């Protein structure tokens, strides 16, 4: 069923419209109507994905191969696709809304997104940041309003509603790190009295200061709509908090421990092993008769297994000690 409205923040689904700027990249469709890259070995129908859906696939994360529910015909930029994973489903309609589809900007992408609100909001946040522009701003406003059945303000409010929801969720996540940090600092005096092994209050204080710096970096990244930078900064803050907390029983990172192993003072070296040893080998006399490989092959012609066993019978049994096992019984 086609939804003839614009929906942003909603408990069940979102319905958004995107202005396409570029038609490429070109992709292939295999025999099972799955989207494939252009280097797919089999001969297949091709389509133009567009810059919006190209960014959408990268922001979605791990997912099943997209399925074309309506493959392209003569117009390679007119199609319907479904992309999903275990928690979210996106239905994408690519179609022209002015100029008979003669230019890339004649096309729009209609998105019907189903899944948890937090996941949808974060997905839209990443999509807009990846595009680097506002996808709800059309190339031709009058025709855009006619095709989408919504005004410019309605489109903007739907998109910004999801973006702001995601920003609030990430800001709350950063605030939780601040609360953890403050609670940890209050326990330092008790930690000192408990005499935790390998824990030092000065080192822990430095780790806390590093965590504060990373939280501030995360907030700045969020202000710039840099979700990837936000997550990396919080991950570094998490590592610093773990080092400062002795109850986690982690006082040094694996990389720091590896550096310690490389220090000469940290390795016990047996001095006897390091003593210089010179091996002296006897030199062959100059008059040793040497034979070539060809001569060796000729000299061994006609040798049989019996020849190799000759002489074994001449050995005395005294060379091999005899043990009587019956005496032990």
Smallest CA-to-CA distance from 77 within 60, 52, 40 is with 52
Strand partners, 68: 81
Phi, psi angles (nearest 5°) of residue 63: -155, 165
Cα 285 from chain centroid (whole Å): 66
- The answer to whether residues 24 and 92 belong to one domain is yes
- Domain-embedded: residue 132: yes
- Domain-embedded: residue 40: yes
Strand partners, 14: 113
Determine the structural domain holding residue 235 and report its residue range: 171-259
Taking the C-alpha atoms of residue 105 and residue 23, their distance in angstroms, rounded to an integer, is 8
- The answer to whether residues 129 and 217 belong to one domain is no
- Domain-embedded: residue 103: yes
- Domain-embedded: residue 1: no
- The answer to whether residues 146 and 17 belong to one domain is yes
- The answer to whether residues 69 and 112 belong to one domain is yes
- The answer to whether residues 20 and 139 belong to one domain is yes
- The answer to whether residues 123 and 177 belong to one domain is no
What pLDDT score was predicted for residue 40?
81
- The answer to whether residues 34 and 115 belong to one domain is yes
Q: What single DSSP character describes residue 105?
A: G
What pLDDT score was predicted for residue 8?
93
Smallest CA-to-CA distance from 207 within 191, 184, 230, 187 is with 184
- Between helices 201-223 and 227-244, what is the axis angle to 10°? 170
Smallest CA-to-CA distance from 109 within 123, 125, 124, 93 is with 93
Q: Give how far Cα 110 sits from Cα of 97, 147, 186, Å.
A: 11, 10, 52
Taking the C-alpha atoms of residue 162 and residue 170, their distance in angstroms, rounded to an integer, is 13
Strands 45-48 and 26-29: antiparallel
- The answer to whether residues 33 and 73 belong to one domain is yes
- The answer to whether residues 131 and 182 belong to one domain is no
Q: What single DSSP character describes residue 64?
A: P
- How many residues belong to the chain? 329
Phi, psi angles (nearest 5°) of residue 69: -80, -20
What pLDDT score was predicted for residue 10?
93
- Domain-embedded: residue 232: yes
Q: Could you give the angle at the alpha carbon of 141 between the alpha carbons of 135 and 142, nearest 5°?
A: 145
Q: Which residue stretches of the chain have pLDDT < 50? A: 1-2, 250-251, 264, 329
Phi, psi angles (nearest 5°) of residue 96: -90, 150
Place of tokens 């937090």: 118
| 120-143 burial code (b ≥16 CB/10 A, e <16) | bbbbbbbbbbbbeeebbebbeeeb
Taking the C-alpha atoms of residue 141 and residue 153, their distance in angstroms, rounded to an integer, is 12
Q: Give how far Cα 5 sits from Cα of 16, 162, 216, Å.
A: 8, 16, 39
- The answer to whether residues 29 and 127 belong to one domain is yes
Final residue in a domain of this structure, among 259, 275, 299: 259
Final residue in a domain of this structure, among 121, 150, 179: 150
- The answer to whether residues 27 and 102 belong to one domain is yes
What pLDDT score was predicted for residue 241?
92
| This model's pTM is above 0.95 | no
What pLDDT score was predicted for residue 245?
86
Q: Give how far Cα 94 sits from Cα of 62, 71, 114, 125, Å.
A: 22, 11, 18, 21
Final residue in a domain of this structure, among 259, 274, 293: 259
Longest dimension (CA), the chain: 113
Phi, psi angles (nearest 5°) of residue 137: -90, 115
- Domain-embedded: residue 266: no
What pLDDT score was predicted for residue 265?
52
Say how many domains are in the chain.
Answer: 2
- Domain-embedded: residue 247: yes
- The answer to whether residues 126 and 66 belong to one domain is yes
- Domain-embedded: residue 116: yes
């Amino acid at each position: 069923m086609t939804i003839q409205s614009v929906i942003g923040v909603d408990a069940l689904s979102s319905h958004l419209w995107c202005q396409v700027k570029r038609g490429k990249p070109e992709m292939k469709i295999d025999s099972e109507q799955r989207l494939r890259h252009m280097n797919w070995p089999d001969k297949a129908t091709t389509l133009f994905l567009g810059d919006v859906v190209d960014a959408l696939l990268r922001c979605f994360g791990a997912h099943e191969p997209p399925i074309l529910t309506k493959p392209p015909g003569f117009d390679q930029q007119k199609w319907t696709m479904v992309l999903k994973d275990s928690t979210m489903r996106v239905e994408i309609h690519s179609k022209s809304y002015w100029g008979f589809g003669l230019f890339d900007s004649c096309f729009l992408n209609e998105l019907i997104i189903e899944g948890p609100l937090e996941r949808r909001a974060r997905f839209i946040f990443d999509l807009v940041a990846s595009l680097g522009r506002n996808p709800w701003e059309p190339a031709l406003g009058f025709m855009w309003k006619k095709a989408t059945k919504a005004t410019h303000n309605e489109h903007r409010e739907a998109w910004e509603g999801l973006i702001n929801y995601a920003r609030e969720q990430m800001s709350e996540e950063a605030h939780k790190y601040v609360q953890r940090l403050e609670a940890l600092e209050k326990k330092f005096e008790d930690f000192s009295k408990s005499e935790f092994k390998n824990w030092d209050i000065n080192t822990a204080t430095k780790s806390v200061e590093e965590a504060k710096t990373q939280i501030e970096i995360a907030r700045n990244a969020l202000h710039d709509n840099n979700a990837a930078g936000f997550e990396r900064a919080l991950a570094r803050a998490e590592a610093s908090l773990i080092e400062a907390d002795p109850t986690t029983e982690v006082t040094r990172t694996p990389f720091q421990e590896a550096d310690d192993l490389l220090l000469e003072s940290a390795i016990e070296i047996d001095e006897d092993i390091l003593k210089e040893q010179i091996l002296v080998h006897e030199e062959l006399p100059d008059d040793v008769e040497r034979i070539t490989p060809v001569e060796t092959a000729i000299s061994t012609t006609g040798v049989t297994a019996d020849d190799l066993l000759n002489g074994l019978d001449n050995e005395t049994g005294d060379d091999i000690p005899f043990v009587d096992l019956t005496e032990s019984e």
